[in-house]
């Protein structure tokens, strides 16, 4: 029972050590369509691309629909996200080895000597440079998250306050001029028959950030339903340290409080 009490106390003390950010993405292009669920859609040359920014970290989700009679592929080596004039490659540059290692160790009873033999087996996984889309079909792919490029180091006193449900939250509204993140998606799709290229270049920015010290049910519901709202969790290391110190002090105090009382008074002895 004591251990359960201490664990519950520690959970309460550390629950306030996170800050939750709920950014919203907007496009400032007239030619792009915003669907009811917040996704963004554009099309050309019998191809359509739908953009979504979802879940933890703001995963960039591409849905590519090939409405033509020819197979096409997304050339990731010529597809990037551009922020502040810096191009970030969307392709995976890492070569991985998937496999297993087996090791056998031999010990000799007459000495301290031992030896080991081992073997490794597996396959090399090369980075994916293209994404194939057959005729009259669609694929969904997520190569990176916006949390990789979004700077949330914004002074607290710049936030305004408003109610969301029964909770008060901090928020900021941005335009494309003062946003903390403006980015372009540059997507190259190649026709596999005649090698012609179709480039989709679309512009987005963060239009709002809501900041809370606890998870908000209404905003979390928006994250699940919408494609233009995501969330980021930031652990406050200073709060974690203070929480552990407070938890340790509380546990020590609890141990002393719950320990059996020992009477240290010297008893009176009868006089003779």
How large is the average pLDDT for residues 85-103? 68
Q: Whole-structure pTM over 0.85, yes or no?
A: no
pLDDT grade for 91, boundaries at 50, 70 and 90: confident
In sequence order, what are the residues at sequence separation of 6 or more whose Cβ sits closer than 8 angstroms to the Cβ of residue 213?
16, 18, 19, 20
Neighbours of 247 (CB within 10 A): 18
How large is the average pLDDT for residues 186-198? 97
Report the alpha-carbon angle 214-218-221, nearest 5: 105
The answer on pLDDT for 61 being more than 90 is yes
Q: Which of 17-21, 73-77, 216-220, 235-239 has the lowest mean pLDDT?
A: 235-239
**In the prediction, which pLDDT does 22 show?**
98
**In the prediction, which pLDDT does 121 show?**
60
Rounded-to-10 torsion of CA 12, 14, 16, 17 = 180
Separation in Å, CA 193 to CA 44, 134, 197, 200: 17, 12, 11, 19
**Whether 141 contacts 74, CB under 8 Å:** yes
The share of the chain scoring above pLDDT 70, in percent, equals 67
Domains of the chain by residue range: 1-17+237-252, 19-91+129-235
CA distance linking residue 19 with residue 231, whole number of Å:
10
**In the prediction, which pLDDT does 263 show?**
55
Give the pair of three-digit tokens for residue 178: 């003062």
């Amino acid at each position: 029972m004591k251990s359960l009490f201490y664990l519950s106390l520690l959970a309460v003390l550390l629950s306030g050590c996170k800050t939750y950010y709920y950014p919203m993405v907007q496009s400032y292009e007239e030619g792009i369509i915003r669907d009811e669920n917040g996704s963004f859609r554009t099309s050309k040359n019998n191809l359509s691309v739908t953009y979504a920014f979802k879940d933890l970290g703001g995963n960039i989700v591409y849905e590519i629909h090939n409405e033509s009679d020819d197979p096409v592929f997304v050339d990731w080596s010529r597809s990037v996200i551009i922020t502040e004039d810096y191009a970030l490659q969307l392709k995976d540059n890492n070569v991985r080895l998937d496999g297993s290692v087996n090791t056998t160790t031999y010990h000799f009873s007459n000495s301290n000597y031992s030896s080991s033999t081992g073997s490794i087996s597996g396959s090399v996984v090369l980075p994916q440079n293209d994404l194939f889309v057959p005729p009259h079909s669609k694929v969904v792919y997520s190569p990176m998250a916006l949390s990789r490029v979004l700077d949330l180091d914004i002074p607290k006193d710049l936030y305004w306050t408003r109610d969301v449900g029964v909770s008060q939250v901090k928020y900021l509204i941005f335009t494309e001029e003062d946003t903390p993140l403006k980015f372009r998606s540059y997507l190259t799709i190649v026709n596999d028959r005649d090698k012609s290229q179709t480039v989709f270049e679309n512009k987005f920015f963060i239009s709002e950030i809501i900041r809370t010290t606890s998870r908000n049910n209404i905003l979390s519901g928006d994250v699940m339903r919408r494609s233009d709202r995501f969330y980021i969790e930031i652990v406050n290391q200073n709060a974690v340290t203070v929480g552990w110190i407070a938890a340790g002090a509380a546990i020590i105090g609890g141990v002393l409080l719950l320990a059996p009382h020992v009477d240290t008074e010297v008893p009176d002895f009868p006089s003779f």
